[in-house]
A and B are shown apart, each in its own frame.
Chain A
Amino acid sequence: MADILRSALAHRPLAVVSVPELREGKVATDNDRILAAELARAYRPVAKQNIRLYGAHRVDAVVWQRR
């Protein structure tokens, strides 16, 4: 599924929302690594918000803005 992630990033979105933390039991995927590299290269974090995402599980969602 890396190709569809690359196609989304190729649009050079102004903002990206991600959950950088590796939740319990989650292993970093190829997509996680591709995104992390792109975020480090072209984006800066501008906000963090703790939010309920899956069921009762709360995570820190980070807003990234294109540099």
Chain B
Amino acid sequence: MTAYAPFAVPPRGIRAIDRAALALLGVALAAIALRLGQFGNPLAGLDEQFYLLAGDRIWRGDLPYVDIWDRKPAGLFLIYAAIRALPGNGILAYQLVATVCLAATGMVAVHLTHTVLPPRAALCAGLSIVVYGIVLGTGFGEAPIFYDLLTILAGALVIALRERPGGRGIDPRAVAAMLLCGLSLTVKTSAVFESCCFGALLLDADRRRLPPAALGLRAAAYLAIGLAPTLAIAAFYALHGDWQVFAFANFRSAFLRGSGATQDSAGRLVAMLVLLSPLLVPTLVEWRHIPRERRMVLTAWLVAGLLSFVAIGRFYEHYALPLVTPLALTAAYGFRRLWVAALPIALAGLMIAGNLSHWGESRRQDASDVAALAAALPAGVKSGCLFVYEGPTILYHLTGACLSGRYVFPGHFTEPE
């Protein structure tokens, strides 16, 4: 049993700093160890194959939505386009960048937690994010892997601002937090819930120092900062005469989609709750022991993460990733107890051991299968075009095939809408 009382700050000094550094290192190493066996696997992610294709084709002059259609915000494709500036065919590059983002998210969780809890709890919070990033991420570079980093950085700034408030002027930390939220909105629209949550928490902090009129102006400023990245992208499309296409893909099409509520999705929801129980249980037990300011931020963040998860419906595993971040930060208060902390550590250990025992097996098999399938395609697909109705999207990328229209992602044809 730990010696830390619920509201106590752990002892400072060289040893505490060393332990925090070890926790950061542990999280980074765990992220690498959990991914290492799959680096370079062209089939490691399903959606990522499409994102990589879209990012790659941006360099050839194709515009997302106009030439390659999807509902995802353009920022995600721009991330993949930036990744294509790295050496190689992009597969290993996106997987490395995604791993860095996942590790960084875990490390920010360690940093956020170690200031108020023992290093063990900080390590477990960070490990939870990394482990669930693998368990729920299903692939490598799903959108939440990128926007969770932006969100946790914004959350860290909101926590810092509320725990150590500044003056009456607009706080640079608030500006940075809103800008990070704005960027996260260009990666996944459902980040709107976290963005609104953080904006409201910042305004709540301002409310204590500002008269109502100034508070209104401050709200408008936060809104403008948060919307700026999306407005910049929208302005780009409007100036190119593609506003209608952009608006349909980014906004209207989401409302034409079915809820996706099926027996399958209900089953996935139940499985998700079971999977998340190592975080849910300590969260529920320890919630009332969290200091007031932090509890307020984490609770609001949890509600936002939950809304983000539920709003999409369908309950695919990676949709729960935004919920994991606030859950891990809240569950950290339970991780002060050794037996609670043992679970994420054991889970990470088991997963690493499992990876080591099947080292690179599926990567070699998948790479060989995809190479054989690509080799079986007629050589003329570069000019005569390829259409993957059901199969790996990465075939377009690996063969440099021309596309049969702007609907490329096989899920658009084969998944119920």
Binding site for B on A (CB under 8 A): 1, 4-5, 7-19, 29, 31-32, 35, 46-47, 49-55, 61, 63, 65-66
Residues of A contacting B39 with CB < 8 Å?
A: none
CB distance from A52 to the nearest CB of B (A): 6
Residues of A contacting B377 with CB < 8 Å?
A: 15, 17, 63
B216 within 8 A of A: no
Which listed residue (B362, B372, B387) contacts A17, Cβ 8 A? B387
A9 and B404 form a contact (CB under 8 A): yes
Closest-by-CB residue of B relative to A65 is B378
Count how many pairs of residues, one from A and one from B, have CB atoms less than 8 Å apart in the complex. Answer: 108
The 5 A-B pairs of least Cβ separation, nearest first, read: A14-B384, A47-B376, A11-B404, A17-B391, A13-B387
Provide 25 A-B residue pairs closer than 8 Å at the C-beta atoms, listed in order of the A residue: A1-B412, A9-B387, A10-B405, A11-B385, A11-B404, A13-B385, A13-B386, A13-B404, A15-B387, A15-B401, A17-B373, A17-B387, A17-B390, A17-B395, A29-B414, A31-B389, A31-B413, A35-B413, A46-B378, A49-B373, A51-B43, A52-B365, A53-B43, A53-B391, A65-B378
B366 within 8 A of A: yes
Which listed residue (A11, A49, A51) contacts B405, Cβ 8 A? A11
Residues of B contacting A31 with CB < 8 Å?
A: 389, 413-414
Kindly state the interface size class of chain B when it binds its partner: 20 to 34
Q: What 1/0 flags go to B140-172 for Cβ under 8 Å of A?
A: 000000000000000000000000000000000
Residues of A contacting B46 with CB < 8 Å?
A: 54
Binding site for A on B (CB under 8 A): 43, 46, 138, 362, 365-366, 369-370, 372-373, 376-378, 380-381, 384-392, 395, 401, 404-405, 407, 412-414, 416-417
CB distance from A30 to the nearest CB of B (A): 10
CB distance from A19 to the nearest CB of B (A): 4
Given contacts A15-B401, A51-B392, list 8 more A-B pairs with CB under 8 A: A11-B404, A12-B385, A17-B390, A17-B391, A18-B391, A51-B373, A61-B390, A61-B392
